[in-house]
Each structure stands twice: as C-alpha cells, then as structure tokens.
Chains A and B, each alone.
Chain A
Amino acid sequence: SQKIEQNSEALNIQEGKTATLTCNYTNYSPAYLQWYRQDPGRGPVFLLLIRENEKEKRKERLKVTFDTTLKQSLFHITASQPADSATYLCALDPAEYSGAGSYQLTFGKGTKLSVIP
C-alpha cells in the first residue's frame, strides 16, 4: 500500500541554523510533491511545490529537493527563526487528470519543528 513517512515527529533546532526535514514515500509515483506549514488549530498553508522532473526548488529561505529514484524529498529552512516553529507537512499528488494536478493529496503525519532562540 502507499506510504508516506516524515522522518521524525519533532525536530528542535537552534535559531540561525538550517532545519532539514525528510519525506520518504513507497508504492507511489507522484507527479507533484508539496510542502505545507500548519500552525495549531489552523489549516495547512502551501509553501512550495516541486514536479517529478525537477530536482530542486527555492523560495526565499526555503529549499526543496526531490529524488524520484530514492523516493525522497528534503525540505530545508535556512537561517531559521522562532517564527518558523510549526508543523510541516509533506503531500503527494498523483496528477491523474491530463497532467494537471488532481489536488487529491496524500499527506504525511508531519514534523513539528521548534526553533529555539
């Protein structure tokens, strides 16, 4: 069966350091992989999307890599700040409709990141 794993439930990191979160998947061939941020009691907020034919994507202090051979994505936050503390979710989209996204996402459980001042 399809399975998505995010490496750890919680990650503590010192302010200013780079946080690296991992997303591994099995029995899945996603066309798109996305990362979301979720704060307690709120809905997920879209951060970055990477396509199956892309290796790396950047947005400000965020960087995502996608290795379809390893079936793994890494999500990096550089120069981390206490305001980055949240749960980060990895989500896969199989893109079943004419190459466009299906928007029927399969999520991992998330990694709770705490940035310590």
Chain B
Amino acid sequence: DAGVTQSPTHLIKTRGQQVTLRCSPKSGHDTVSWYQQALGQGPQFIFQYYEEEERQRGNFPDRFSGHQFPNYSSELNVNALLLGDSALYLCASSLSEGGRDYNDQFFGPGTRLTVL
C-alpha cells in the first residue's frame, strides 16, 4: 500500500498563472481533504471532497477549487496565483462512514508551490 501520494513534489509558478495539484488517497479511503501550510505555520483546511462533491470549505477564496474523481483521487486548482499562495499543499485521506468510530487520517508528503 503506497499510502497517500501527491504530485508534483515541487512546482514553481509566476504570479497570475494557474496550477493543478494531484492527490491519490490511501487504498480504501473515500474522503480527501486539502490543506495549505505556510512556512512556520500549522496546516490550514482548504476544503474536503466526498462522493465527488465538496463537502466543506475553509476560509479560502474561490480561486481555490477542486475535484474528486470516481476512483477517489482528487485535484486542487488555484487560479490567478499570488505570492502569498507559496506554501506546502497537503492532501489527507480518510474513510467516512457515518456512525462509525473515528478512523485515522493519513497525510501525503505534500507539494511545495513557489510563486515568483
């Protein structure tokens, strides 16, 4: 089991460009959450996808959008990049089953985005 995988590992973009980051969840997991982690800060929740729909969203602008595919993998898209979008973007997967006990959430290694 490869665990949570993310691609690419590193990415350099310029202001105004658009970027797409990808995540494959751990085998058997159906829920994907995305986090942004600026240097020296804790991860901040961007949004979560379950059954191919955005289930919840954190305090991020509409420039941040996402998608979940039938195989549970997910993409994070950021439009009109700003310098402040430079961060480590983390994907986390989990299993959502209502009424069940808490399941562990697994994080991927992250994608380091640098905006110049």
Contacts and interface: CB of A to CB of B under 8 A. Distances in A.
Interface of A: 4, 32, 36, 41-46, 49, 51, 89, 91, 93, 95, 97-110
Interface of B: 4, 31, 33, 35, 40-45, 48, 56, 58, 88, 90, 92, 94, 96-110, 112
B98 to A, nearest CB: 4
A101 B94 contact: yes
A48 to B, nearest CB: 11
A44 B107 contact: yes
Given A98-B99, A109-B41, A109-B42, A104 B109 contact: no
A45 to B, nearest CB: 7
Nearest to B104: A46
Contact of B44 (A36, A44, A97, A107): A107
A106 B45 contact: yes
Given A43-B110, A105-B43, A97 B98 contact: yes
A17 B28 CA distance: 39
Nearest to B93: A103
Contact of B106 (A46, A106, A109): A46
Contacts of B109: 42-43
12 contacts: A4-B42, A32-B102, A41-B88, A43-B108, A51-B102, A98-B99, A99-B99, A101-B105, A103-B31, A104-B45, A104-B48, A105-B45
Given A101-B103, A104-B48, A44 B43 contact: yes
Contacts of A89: 42-43
A49 B109 CA distance: 21
A103 B98 contact: no
Given A89-B43, A104-B33, A104-B58, 6 more contacts: A32-B102, A43-B107, A43-B110, A44-B107, A103-B92, A109-B40
A105 B102 CA distance: 13
B100 A103 contact: no
Contacts of A100: 96-103
Contacts of B40: 109
Contacts of B48: 102-104
Contacts of A46: 104-107
